[in-house]
Amino acid sequence: GANVGCHTLRMAQLVGSTGRVIAFEPMPWANRRLRKNLSLNHQLRNVTVENFGLSDGACTATVHFRSSWKLTDEKRSGEAVESTEPCSVEFVRVDDYLTRNSIGRVDLIKLDVDGYEFKVLRGAANLLTAHKPVIVLELGAYTLRAVGDRIEDLVAFLAERGYRFYRETDFSPYPSFDEMLKSIPLDATINAVASTRPLSA
């Protein structure tokens, strides 16, 4: 999810006038702040904001994705009151969205969706096979398990499509899929980069 736009703003600056960023944020509290931040930073020209979620099928469900934290609290707890309520969210597949909007090419996917990562990727199977975009994603065994998926299946899914995993900090490759899986704490997540082409810092 794009949340309030920290990455969206930076991506919009990087792609410039010839690029395009599509930011998906289904939670109303975060979506409003995302749009406000884009307006304040004059980044509306090359950003499209969508207020639905991505998954492996089209549906509507009542969900709650956490979208605010008190950064001054050492435990980073205490959501903004208006962001605590579940809400009805429309979910779509990436492949369907791209077809419906006549988008033929995607270069980069930034993915941090509280365990829905594998569902989003399954819904983007055609895109991943045809265009092989670089993927920056959060990986956590416990977050995926909470929504009925397994991290081993996500890794295998990308491996079958020619992806390798790289460390986010310096783009160095993980020696193997097993080594990467071992690096993920049982009760935490890591960020990684998946690419079909070698990366360099």
Q: Which residues contact 113 (CB under 8 A, 6 or more apart)?
A: 1, 53, 54, 65, 120, 138
Note the pLDDT of residue 68: 55
**What pLDDT digit, counting tens, does each position of 130-160 carry?**
999 999 999 999 999 999 999 999 999 999 9
**What pLDDT digit, counting tens, does each position of 78-95 carry?**
566 666 677 888 999 999
Q: Which residues contact 100 (CB under 8 A, 6 or more apart)?
A: none
Joined together, the tokens standing for residue 55 give: 């998954």
CA–CA separation, 85 vs 59, rounded Å? Answer: 20
Over residues 66-76, the mean pLDDT reads: 57
